[in-house]
Structure formats: structure tokens, C-alpha cells
Amino acid sequence: MSGLLEPSRPVAEGNSPSPKGPFSKAATPIPEPPHEDEAIAGGGGDDDDDDDDGDVIEVEDGAPEEDEFLAEGWDGSSNASTSVTSSIYNHSFENGRRYHAYKYGRYPIPNDDQEQNREDMKHAMMMELTDGKLFLAPIGENPQKIIDIGTGTGIWAIEAGDLFPGAEVLGLDLSPIQPEWVPPNVKFMIDDVEDEWANGPDWDFAHFRGMALTLRDLQKAVDQTFENLKPGGWIEFQESVGMSYCDDGSAPPPEKDVLVQFYLLCVEALAKFGMDLNRPAAVGEFLERAGFVNITCVKRKVPVGVWPRDKTMRLIGLYMRETALQSLPSLSKAFANLGISAEEREVWGAKVREALTDASSHRYYYYYFWYAQKPE
């Protein structure tokens, strides 16, 4: 058993092992839902009134149409840039998955085609969630230098390069998985943002997506970004928190909800790699300590599954559910490091898959968009 989830094998009844974690010990305290306040230090920007996190997502009457959208055909294959040394490409393999070799052991998530497909699907979901916007920060119409930190497959940086053909766009990541054919104003580098800054000064905009929970020293990364932005430049974090919520009582109470308990186990497992899954909700504190102003947080509800009435929200929910399902095998390394056996992981996987595909439970996650400005 090499992965967290093996869908073709059902969980055995009767003598199946008890999953390790919150199911078998005193539960970790359940986090409270986030507060609904938007501006942290004076607001700013033109998206303050664009937040809909306080609204209840309306539920579709009757059974959702599972075949309304097709979540297939994703081609995440790519050729790595030739501008990096060959030693960077010495990937390692564990449990049938590929991991990057650079700073090996730092990041317990694979970088293979399966994970790249999932990342590109998340990007599609984010574009639906933001009505096609790559960012919410009011950076102006003519930025000259844009840096995408933790660029992953490079899809955000490539689209930013297309949007601003006169700008220099740089994507940074630990893994060389970006495509070779990119706009002429876009380039990629293999780098660790937690090392000393090596990318020059005077950036107009710094973009982070899904990085607040992975960085061991988020404050250092934010401080270094602040130092290397132009006066008046902007920073933005686009982050999710995996704690599920429900507004209408259709999901089990948190202490009995498989997704809630699984999230708490993920918090424990990934903490051993220096990752804090709850940190995305508190990015504003790091921005404020660095000296940023006009700190703004926009929260969006992201449904899990196709239960919403609104068609766009159904599509977002489908993307969210599929990316969550595909993330389960990616957690094998982190869970094994916690001492959870392959058999226990399979039990967890089956329970979580069942919960994620239960359309009668109207669960959702929160996405946070934090943006802030360096003083003029």
C-alpha cells in the first residue's frame, strides 16, 4: 500500500483498524470560524466591498448534477527550464511519488505530474473564485517588476506575463517543474525564499499563493519582501485553510465530522515539517510587523462539492472537491512520518473520500486574500 488512499479497496467492516489521530484520542480543540472583519490596518484598494464571505451559499434544490462539468483532461506535463543546473533534477522517489531533491526533506508534498495537475486545477478554481482576477491588490495598470514566490507549475506567472507584457515577471520555486516555452518577459529560478534574498530590489508586486502555511519562517520571508519592494509596492497572499464549516447543520457536529478531525490530524502531521496549517488566517500580523500599511483581508467561502445553487459556485465546488480528493495520496509522506501505518492511512482515506463526496453535507472552506502596501 503506497498511498494514503486506494479507492478500489473498500474499508473492511468489523475488524478494520482504528485510524490514528483525533479518532482515537482526546480531540484537539476545534478552531472557531473566522471573524467577518475585512480591514486589518485601514483597508485600501477597490475590492473591500467585493467580499462575500458573510453570505450563506444557497443550496441547489434536488440532487446535484455530477456530470454538469467535466473535471478531466488536465495536462500538467511540462519540461523544466534549461537555465538551472542538472543536479537540481535529481528527484527522489518514495511511496511511488516523486519529490524534489533541492533542500530534500523540507517539503513533504510531491512534485510529479499528478501534483502538478492538481495545482493547475486549483488555479482554475481560483480564477473562477475571483471572477478571472489574478490578484486583488490595486497594483495599477503598468507594473514593471513582478515576482511570484512559490510559483509551482508557473501558471500564475505565465498569465501575469501575458497580462503585463511590459513587465519583468520572475517565478521562484524549489522544484524545476515549470514549462520551457513561456512569454519572453517571464523567467523561472530555483530558489528558497527562506534563504537570503537573491533576486534584486525594486519589485512592484510580490505574489504568494499557498505559501503562508509552508514557510517555516514566514516573518523572514515577509520582511525580505518588504525590503525589496519599491516604495508604494504591493504584496499579496492567496491562502486557504482546510478546516471545513457548514451553515445549515447538514454536516455532522465538528467533534464527529470526519473532515474536521482529518484536518486536525493534518495539522499535527505537517507541523513536524515546520508547517502551520492555521497560519493563513493570521497573515495580517506578519504584514503589520514588517511595516506594511493598507493591510486588507478578503475572505471567500469555497464550497466542497456541487451542492450550491449558483452555477459558478457549483463549478468552484467541483474543483475544490477534486483537488481535495487528489491531495490525499500526496500526504502519505507526512502521515508516515507521524507513525501512521499504510493500513491506517487507507482507512483514513476511505472515510475522508466518503465525506468529501457526500452531497447532502453542505461544507465549505475559507480562502483568504491578504494584500498590503509598502509605504510611499
Is the model's pLDDT at 208 over the cut of 80?
yes
Look at 138 and 107; give whichever has higher pLDDT.
Answer: 138
Q: At what angle do helices 342-356 and 258-271 cross, to 10 degrees?
A: 140
pLDDT of residue 173: 80
Sheet containing 186-190: order of strands: 186-190, 168-173, 145-149, 203-209, 229-246, 363-373, 293-303
Is the model's pLDDT at 93 over the cut of 50?
no
Taking only the tens place, the pLDDT of each residue in 310-359 is: 999 998 998 899 888 887 777 777 888 888 888 888 888 899 999 999 99
Q: Which amino acid is at 11?
A: V
Is the model's pLDDT at 252 over the cut of 60?
yes
Does any domain span residue 225? Answer: yes
Cα(186)–Cα(51) distance, integer angstroms: 31
Burial degree of 177 (CB within 10 A; 0-12, 13-18, 19+): buried
Does any domain span residue 5? Answer: no
When pLDDT is cut at 50, 70 and 90, the band that residue 61 belongs to is confident
Mean pLDDT calculated for residue range 197-213: 92
Number of domains in the chain: 1
Q: Give the largest Cα separation in the chain, rounded.
A: 65
Does any domain span residue 297? Answer: yes
Burial degree of 355 (CB within 10 A; 0-12, 13-18, 19+): buried
Is the model's pLDDT at 80 over the cut of 60?
no
Mean pLDDT calculated for residue range 249-258: 94
Is the model's pLDDT at 79 over the cut of 90?
no
Q: Which amino acid is at 210?
A: G
Does any domain span residue 15? Answer: no
Report the chain's mean pLDDT, rounded to a whole number.
76
Does any domain span residue 22? Answer: no
pLDDT of residue 270: 85
CATH number at residue 362: 3.40.50.150
State the cell numbers at 164.
503585463
Does any domain span residue 88? Answer: yes
Cα(372)–Cα(13) distance, integer angstroms: 52
DSSP 186-230: EEEEE--TTS---S-S-EEEEEEES-TTT-TTHHHHHHHHHHHEE
Mean pLDDT calculated for residue range 258-262: 93
CB 297 within 8 A of CB 369: yes
Taking only the tens place, the pLDDT of each residue in 116-152 is: 565 677 888 888 899 999 999 999 999 999 999 988 8
Mean pLDDT calculated for residue range 168-178: 77
Give me the domain span that covers residue 325.
48-373
pLDDT of residue 23: 39
Does any domain span residue 342? Answer: yes
DSSP annotation of 32? P
Does any domain span residue 138? Answer: yes
